[in-house]
Amino acid sequence: MDPKSSSTEISVEFPTIFRIYKDGRVERLKGTETVPPSTDPETGVRSKDIVLSPESGLSARIFLPKLTDPTRKLPLLVFIHGGAFVIESPYSPLYHNHAALLTSEANVVVLSVNYRRAPEHPLPAAYEDSWEALQWAAAHSNRNGPETWLNDYVDFDRVFVGGDSAGATLTHHVVHRAGIHGLSGAKIVGMILFHPFFGNGKPDKLLEVVFPACNGLDDPRVNPGKDPKLREIGCGRVLIFVAEKDFLRDRAWAYYEALKKSGWGGMVEILESEGEDHVFHLFNPSCDKAVGLVKKVVSFINHKPKL
């Protein structure tokens, strides 16, 4: 076979997302643009890039709000980006801007995780990276970790984990894992799922490509509503966002119902954005419904339980 033909012949393609060529080369069709860390002149939010594991290459972008009282400890939001497990990163404009907005509005430190992406690193690599990032952050509770912003400014009794789409899948996994195995040094107060990408018990072409080791359609890593241990989720509050026109809408509602019936003792709330599609808030953050979504996240993070 002509080697030139194999380099241009497509083996697998997901239109608008990525394609794999027969020679193994991967081409991402969007979500490759990046922006550097910065200081926002309007909000005062600062960001920087950090390496969590030189061995695996696991890294993150961390965001710090403008400090009015440097002695006050702030909540931590570990954020896990979406993109079908394949595209986007914490460094893309969409996710940099979203994390900076949440940092400013909620007055929270955000650790945005740069997990290894499929198909070069098939799942469950992203699951393991997300769990490692959460453990890495929690290890700073002794105030002697490698990242000074976590040592100096985070209240480790107020940790949240959130993510959108595929990142919400990973978010559920790490919070559930913390419930089963524990998380030394930190207390996860709440979980935020933006338009989660959960399985629905039907064949999924994307998952077949990015997760060849999946244990079937009801593998709890992709279809957590079918997990007999769902009740062991490791936080007391869950906030789920869905969008009316999102093809994943019904899966999130099914997860919500399963969680309520699981025997888990926490509080779960689900909010649906009428007339909107998947992760609309990333693409149009200034629209009324996106502003309302962020306000709900701010309220969720800064909620103070009645004594």
Instruction: Give pLDDT, residue 188.
Output: 98
Kindly list the distances between the CA atom of residue 262 and the CA atoms of 47, 50, 187, in Å, as whole numbers in the listed order. 39, 38, 22
Kindly list the distances between the CA atom of residue 24 and the CA atoms of 18, 30, 109, 120, in Å, as whole numbers in the listed order. 12, 19, 39, 9
- Smallest CA-to-CA distance from 146 within 60, 73, 44 is with 60
Answer yes or no: is 307 within a domain: no
Backbone angles phi, psi at 121, to 5 degrees: -120, 85
Same domain, yes or no: 156 and 223:
yes
Same domain, yes or no: 13 and 103:
no
Instruction: Give pLDDT, residue 55.
Output: 94
Reading the block at residue 101, the tokens are 């907005």
Q: Any catalytic annotation for residue 165?
A: yes
Same domain, yes or no: 267 and 122:
yes
Task: In whole angstroms, give the CA distance from residue 298 to residue 300.
Answer: 5
Active-site option among 98, 176, 195, 278: 278
Strand partners, 290: none
Same domain, yes or no: 168 and 248:
yes
Same domain, yes or no: 46 and 102:
yes
pTM of the model: 0.96
State the virtual CA torsion across 295, 301, 302, 303 in degrees, nearest 10. Answer: 100
Instruction: Give pLDDT, residue 305.
Output: 73
Task: In whole angstroms, give the CA distance from residue 237 to residue 218.
Answer: 24
Strand order in the sheet with 58-64: 46-53, 58-64, 109-114, 74-80, 154-164, 188-194, 237-243, 267-273
Instruction: Give pLDDT, residue 5.
Output: 54
Same domain, yes or no: 184 and 234:
yes
Q: What is the number of domains present in the chain?
A: 2
Same domain, yes or no: 61 and 160:
yes
Instruction: Give pLDDT, residue 270.
Output: 98
Low-confidence ranges of the chain (pLDDT < 70): 1-6, 306-307
Same domain, yes or no: 135 and 250:
yes
Tell the burial category of 152 from Cβ atoms under 10 Å away from its Cβ (0-12, 13-18, 19+): middle
Strand partners, 88: none
Same domain, yes or no: 166 and 239:
yes
Instruction: Give pLDDT, residue 298.
Output: 98
Answer yes or no: is 128 within a domain: yes
Q: Any catalytic annotation for residue 181?
A: no
Instruction: Give pLDDT, residue 307.
Output: 57
Task: In whole angstroms, give the CA distance from residue 140 to residue 155.
Answer: 10
State the virtual CA torsion across 57, 132, 140, 302 in degrees, nearest 10. Answer: 110
Residues spanned by the domain of 264: 35-302
Instruction: Give pLDDT, residue 4.
Output: 54
Answer yes or no: is 178 within a domain: yes
Same domain, yes or no: 26 and 40:
no
Q: Any catalytic annotation for residue 38?
A: no
- What is the per-residue DSSP string for 36-79? ---B-TTT--EEEEEEEETTTTEEEEEEE---S-TTS-EEEEEE
Answer yes or no: is 152 within a domain: yes
Active-site option among 59, 165, 262, 273: 165
- CATH number of the structural domain spanning residue 190: 3.40.50.1820
Answer yes or no: is 222 within a domain: yes
Residues with Cβ within 8 Å of residue 264, at least 6 apart in sequence:
230, 231, 232, 233
Same domain, yes or no: 69 and 56:
yes
Instruction: Give pLDDT, residue 1.
Output: 46
Active-site option among 98, 246, 273, 281: 246
Answer yes or no: is 118 within a domain: yes
- Smallest CA-to-CA distance from 115 within 146, 93, 150, 86 is with 86
Answer yes or no: is 102 within a domain: yes
Same domain, yes or no: 77 and 10:
no
Residues with Cβ within 8 Å of residue 254, at least 6 apart in sequence:
198, 200, 225
Mean pLDDT of the chain: 96
Strand order in the sheet with 10-14: 10-14, 18-21, 26-28
State the virtual CA torsion across 18, 21, 26, 29 in degrees, nearest 10. Answer: -30
